[in-house]
Amino acid sequence: MTWNAATYLAFGTERTRPAAELLARVPLAAPAAIADLGCGPGNSTALLRERYPEADLVGVDSAPDMIAAARGSGVRARWQLADVATWTPEAPVDLIFANATLHWLDDHPRLFSRLLERLTSGGVLAVQMPRNFQAPSHVLLREVARQGPWAAQLTPRLRADPVASPDAYYRWLRPHAARLDVWQTEYLQVLSGADPVLAWVRGTSLVPLLAALDAPARAAFEAAYAARLRTAYPAEPGGETLFPFQRVFIVLEKGA
């Protein structure tokens, strides 16, 4: 089990919308150099290329399947297989764009400080991160992981609350910013099909857990988790399933 572009893009519209809304708040008119960190299959990179057709644009991701999909997307960009946690550009860039990426990394005060060092003066750091870790989808995921015969393999991989509150990011980042905008949005995802919340999480939060299990254990774990999700997210009379999902956004313009 690894990152899979097709699984991720099963909800491509829903996953791309926050990237578009983040990009709409970026104040730069014509950045010369842009890095899309955690570019995935290139859906966010496509938005950046459309807005900034002349920029030197690089998409960075640590998953080979994602980079392969990005290279096949037709988006005009350079693609780099690299760990975002240690990524360093050849020279400072004008825009670092990170859509649904940085929540996978720890020690955010230090991480954000390091990313700011990779910006030009007046450059922009634009970040979107899921903040749904206390929702039933993620609480149940941790409960099922800790309660079954797979607990020894999965418990060390659990991350209960990797994204801080919006005010915490504001306090960490304000001393480094000429301008700073932090906000949080809750999307009401309207999903369809069988076990749609499981299908959503299968493309993201489930990936590192399923990677730790063999095929029979994966099937048993998913079945136990799916049963809990059906109770937490029952289908509406029309057949759709409502999945509220919070995300936090940060747009920082670096001071001189």
Over the stretch 87-105, which tens digit does the pLDDT of each residue have?
A: 999 999 999 999 999 999 9
Please tell me the predicted confidence (pLDDT) of residue 8.
Answer: 54
d(CA 114, CA 100): 18
pLDDT band at 160 (very low <50, low <70, confident <90, very high): confident
Q: Please tell me the number of Cα atoms within 13 Å of 156 on its side-chain side.
A: 5
Share of the chain above pLDDT 90, in %: 88
The pLDDT mean for the chain works out to 93
Q: What is the DSSP letter of 234?
A: P
Nearest 10 degrees: CA dihedral of 169, 170, 176, 177? Answer: 130
Q: What is the mean pLDDT of residues 14-40?
A: 95
The fraction of the chain above a pLDDT of 70, given in percent, is: 95
pLDDT given for residue 1 in this prediction = 43
Q: How far apart are CA 179 and CA 54, in angstroms?
A: 25
Q: Is the pLDDT of residue 4 over 60?
A: no
Distance CA 206, CA 217 (A): 13
In 3-state terms the chain splits into helix, strand, coil percentages (rounded to 5) of 40, 25, 35
Residue 150: pLDDT over 60: yes
User: How far is residue 75's CA from residue 50's CA, in Å, rounded to a whole number?
Assistant: 9
> Do 197 and 229 contact (CB within 8 A), yes or no?
yes
Residue 223 parent element (H or E): helix 215-232
pLDDT band at 10 (very low <50, low <70, confident <90, very high): low
**Helix axes of 166-173 and 108-117: crossing angle, nearest 10 degrees:** 50
pLDDT of residue 135: 96
Can you give the pLDDT at residue 255?
85
Give 31-71 pLDDT, tens digit per residue.
Answer: 999 999 999 999 999 999 999 999 999 999 999 989 999 99
CB 27 within 8 A of CB 253: yes
